[in-house]
Amino acid sequence: MNHRLVALVLATLSPLSVSLSGCIGRARINPKAIAQLRAGTRALAADRLDEAQARLTIALEYNPSFPEAYNGLGLIAYRRQQLVAAARFFRDAILRREDFAEAHNNLGVVLLAQHDLLAARASFRAALAVDPGYVNARYNLVLVDLRRGALALARRELLKVIALAPKMADAHAELGCLELVMSRRARAEAHLRRALALDARSVPALRCRARLAREGGDLPGAERGYRRALAIDPHDSGALYGLAVTLALANRSADAVAFVARVVRQRPRFAAAHFVLGYLLAKQHAPRVVAAEASLRRALQLTPRYPAAHLALADLLVARGQQTAATTHYRAFLTCVPAELAGERARVVAKLALAAR
């Protein structure tokens, strides 16, 4: 499966949610705190982070229990890539207002950036428990489920996102990607066309159109598609991974290694990226066998039932003269041979028979 994660939707600072009477729930908010929050919001929107931080801190000096101010400070910390601090501020906001859906969503984004999928999912669910119509949180929940490989759950939630926001291009695009993974090509193409009609710069749509080209045998077209997506978002891990696979299929392994290595740095728990990196390193003209073995073992640590990784690691171990260790992985491969690797079964059986003599 080509795992995907597009840019998560962070809830922005929303001072208009503060009532004009200066009250949130039972807590009375000083009007000067609200004024500083609004000024901080404008500074944050203009990317003047130092000013925004100063104003939101002043808002807290007027009202130490002002949840929107904590949420804003969390957004600033996130922009600065200070994930631990961002999570602390979002939790402070939730502590002071349990039904603060935006803060639950934002905390989920941070947790996902920290690769804690289950905790991130719980945060997005908490946001939806407050507001089932909160499109950002529901879309982020979809992205978590896609990373978890929970395709049925992701598809169900994507249909809800589209019902709530029918003109959300990225939601149509992700549904198209999902239909492609589930081998529903006609449905995939329809959703991708819809996504690009809504937004010609939709990175998920461009990425999945590139995958369609690759699966149709058009490697140059696929490469152009992935590079176009990366020109819009250079950090899109799905496009980086897709481009790496495309380059590998085109026998450009050195270029492919550079791109998949970037994916591994971005998503250290992405088993498929570790597998591709290990496979490519093992197949280079001057094989980097130690690094290749480490990458393949990491892929198996993350996903123990990964037949392609078991096969690649076994072959690598044989090449290194470690026949006994290879046998374990050949046997693991035979317990779950996927259709696309069925042709390898006879070779593996023969190797095991030879080792048993």
Averaged confidence pLDDT in the chain = 89
Q: Quote the pLDDT of residue 23.
A: 37
Q: Are 26 and 77 in contact (CB under 8 A)?
A: no
Tokens 């490697």 locate to 219
**pLDDT tens column, 163-184:** 999 999 999 999 999 998 888 9
Please give the pLDDT value at position 353.
Answer: 86
Please, how many CA atoms are within 13 Å of residue 130, restricted to the half-sphere of its CB?
A: 19
325 pLDDT above the threshold of 60: yes
Q: Which own/partner contact pairs does 99-103 have at CB distance under 8 Å and 24+ positions apart? A: 99/130, 100/67, 100/71, 100/130, 101/11, 101/127, 101/128, 101/130, 101/131, 101/134, 101/137, 102/11, 102/14, 102/71, 102/127, 103/11, 103/67, 103/70, 103/71, 103/74
Domain 166-265: CATH superfamily is: Tetratricopeptide repeat domain (1.25.40.10)
For 25-66, how does the pLDDT look when each residue is reduced to its tens digit (9 = 90+)? 446 789 999 999 999 999 999 999 999 999 999 999 999 999
* Residue ranges, CATH 1.25.40.10, the chain: 1-147, 166-265, 270-357
C-alpha dist (Å) from residue 254 to 244, 259, 260, 284: 10, 9, 10, 8
pTM of this prediction?
0.78
- Measure the CA–CA gap between 276 and 278, rounded to whole angstroms: 5
| Token pair of 180 as six digits | 């492609």
Q: What is the CATH number of domain 270-357?
A: 1.25.40.10
pLDDT exceeds cutoff 80 at 18: no
According to DSSP, the β-strands at 27-28 and 23-24 are: antiparallel
Alpha-carbon distances of 7 from 14, 143, 237, 243, rounded to whole Å:
20, 9, 10, 18
pLDDT range class, residue 287, cuts 50, 70, 90: confident
Q: Which amino acid, residue 36?
A: Q
- Residue 340: what pLDDT? 87
- According to the CATH classification, is domain 1-147 in 1.25.40.10? yes
Percent of the chain residues past pLDDT 70, beyond the cut: 92
Q: Which two tokens stand for residue 231?
A: 């020109």
